[in-house]
Amino acid sequence: MAGPMNILSPDPEGRRVILGLSGGVDSAVAALLLKERGADVHALHMTNWDDDAGYCTAAEDLQDARKICDQLDIPLHHVNFARAYRERVFRYFLDEYRAGRTPNPDVLCNREIKFGVFREFAKRLGGELLATGHYARTQRVGMDLQLRKARDLNKDQTYFLHAVPDEALGETVFPLGELHKDEVRRIARDRGLATHDKKDSTGICFIGERPFREFLANYLPAQPGPIRSPDGRLLGEHQGLMYYTPGQRQGLGIGGLRDAGDAPWYVAHKELETNTLVVVQGEHRLLYSDSILASEPAWIGAAPAELAAGSEFRCSVKLRYRQPDQACTVQEDAPGRLEVRFDVPQRAVAPGQYAVFYAGDRCLGGAVIDVTRRQERTLEQAV
């Protein structure tokens, strides 16, 4: 064996597994481990964005995927899902920014593309199971499917997987769920995999290394407006509300104001009606939220029993990827909408992002953040 495998759920031995092979080190090691486990592995490389400017590494990734398949002697299939991506993910991405929100396209990409159209294509290839290089684990407890955090909590990706349908999760193997990243690198290096030292990809492929504002401006033209303090004082001009997110410090261009002191300025919120960007200086209470309203809840398995009974339940929540779990209380505010109350006020919560709920290492599901709410309190109480 190349590394510790433990018990994979579901068991891939003797079954055709269609692996999403990106061309990176994680999916390459996943392919190796699956093959050594006795799976009939077929690799499927997706192209999800047609980029003419050269910022996306799609061509290089495809070549690396071919190298890995040659090394491991597994078939490689290539499919272009760019049209589906634009219709199912990118359109939503633009609509959310147009509405002044901060979307997370990776969650939608997993649900609609990697575990949606990819899964449908894999069935046509005779696939019984799917596999990816995500750091996550699944477990069957009786008849219930559970999504659990990866052993390597620093790499855990359950935040991005919380909206994947149960049926798709139940057919998916996560070979890296029990491994730490340094073990994955070691396995790749020891077995001489072509991508053993390839740098991990970050961010969204269709943006690549270009400045985010430059990319977004190609689709959402600038709409300048005033930057104001909470008391209405004019501080400068912004280029478009879509270019800013709560808690943002860089790119405001309002330093050095008379009588303002040296503390940095941060985006507090956006007023779409007046096209106004409201900013605060220092760790202001307006940066903090006591609770949120979140819609479109997606649960892994059944919704928590307390919600069905009309009561609240305790759990923890992540409001962004890599955030430590935050204690909270959740209850239904209206059909299809949740109220989430935090034990400790949370800083720079962004509508459009996802609130993802956990009970220990079990991911329960999540919902889209719609509204942030705060109580009147002193700065000392807020922070």
205 annotated active-site: yes
91 SS3 class: helix
What's the CA gap between 325 and 313, in Å, rounded? 16
Give CA–CA dist 326/323, Å, rounded: 8
DSSP string computed for 363-380? EEEEEEEEEEE-----HH
Residue 85: alpha-carbon gap to chain centroid? 16
Strand partners, 359: 362
The alpha carbon of 33 is separated from its chain's Cα centroid by a whole number of angstroms, namely 25
Q: Give the Å distances, CA to CA, from 320 to 31, 243, 296, 326.
A: 29, 18, 17, 11
φ, ψ at 337 (rounded to 5°): -140, 135
Asked if residues 327 and 318 have their Cβ atoms less than 8 Å apart, the reply is no
Please state whether beta strands 129-131 and 16-20 pair in parallel, antiparallel, or not at all (unpaired): parallel
Full DSSP string of 7-76: --SS--TTSEEEEE--SSHHHHHHHHHHHHTT-EEEEEEEE----SSS-S-HHHHHHHHHHHHHHHT--E
Q: Check 56, 69, 109, 328 and give the catalytic one.
A: 109
Preceding amide of 304 cis, omega within 30: no
For residues 176 and 183, give the distance between their C-alpha atoms in angstroms, rounded to a whole number.
10
Q: Which of 69, 205, 328, 363 is catalytic?
A: 205
Q: How many residues are present in the chain?
A: 383
Q: Clarify whether 109 is annotated catalytic.
A: yes
Identify the burial level of 250 via C-beta atoms within 10 angstroms of its C-beta, where 0-12 means exposed, 13-18 middle and 19 or more buried.
exposed
Catalytically active residues are 109, 205
